[in-house]
């Protein structure tokens, strides 16, 4: 049940525009778009954010992602459909999303990511993981449900 829509408030609306602007900046980063969507989906699965799962799976489909890869994100370790770079990004995403369950991102996970991404891509990946976790938490707090998102529906909002 939706408790409130923060975008219907002055502060929430202003924040959402800035949040969307940061998201657009990351969309345009050198981190491959397919990796970005996988990261957003995996963090949203872990955090139980239906709104973000709805958004990012639909955006991934619109960007050409396959149903098989989308269906297997939660079990990515037990599949053969992801590249080594995608696996490195997903491992980092899981450890960074589950900070309370561990001591953070392990040196091994960081080293694996470092093998696949340069500094610009790693910076984008770290910022993306932080941003999607923030979005997940805000949407879960206010009870934003999934199901009504249309691919790209916030694109013009992000450009304002």
Q: What is the CATH number of the domain that holds 96?
A: 1.20.1290.10
How many independent structural domains does the chain possess?
1
Interacting residues of 146 by C-beta distance below 8 A, sequence separation 6+: 49, 50, 51, 52, 53, 54, 55
- C-alpha 8/C-alpha 122 separation (Å) is 34
Tokens for 88, please give them: 């490195």
pTM, two decimals, is 0.92
Interacting residues of 46 by C-beta distance below 8 A, sequence separation 6+: 94, 97, 98
**Has residue 44 been placed in a domain?**
no
Q: Which domain holds residue 111?
A: 66-144
Which residue, 83, 82, 63, is CA-closest to 71? Answer: 82
Runs of H (alpha helix) within 63-154? 67-71, 84-97, 107-116, 119-142
The one-digit pLDDT tens for each residue of the chain (160 residues) are 788 888 889 998 899 889 888 999 999 999 999 999 999 999 999 999 999 999 999 999 999 999 999 999 999 999 999 999 999 999 999 999 999 888 899 999 999 999 999 999 999 999 999 999 999 999 999 998 898 888 876 665 555 4
**Has residue 29 been placed in a domain?**
no
């Amino acid at each position: 049940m939706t408790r409130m829509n923060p975008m219907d408030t002055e502060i929430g609306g202003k924040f959402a525009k800035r949040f969307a602007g940061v998201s657009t900046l990351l969309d345009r980063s050198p981190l491959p778009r397919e990796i970005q969507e996988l990261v957003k989906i995996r963090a949203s699965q872990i955090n139980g954010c239906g709104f973000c799962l709805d958004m990012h799976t639909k955006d991934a489909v619109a960007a050409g992602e396959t149903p098989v890869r989308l269906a297997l994100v939660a079990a990515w370790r037990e599949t053969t459909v992801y590249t080594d770079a995608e696996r490195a990004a997903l491992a980092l995403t899981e450890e960074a999303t589950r900070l309370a369950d561990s001591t953070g991102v392990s040196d091994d996970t960081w080293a694996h990511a470092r093998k696949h991404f340069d500094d610009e891509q790693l910076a984008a990946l770290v910022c993306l993981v932080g941003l999607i976790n923030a979005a997940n938490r805000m949407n879960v707090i206010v009870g934003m449900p999934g199901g009504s998102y249309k691919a790209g529906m916030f694109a013009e909002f992000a450009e304002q």
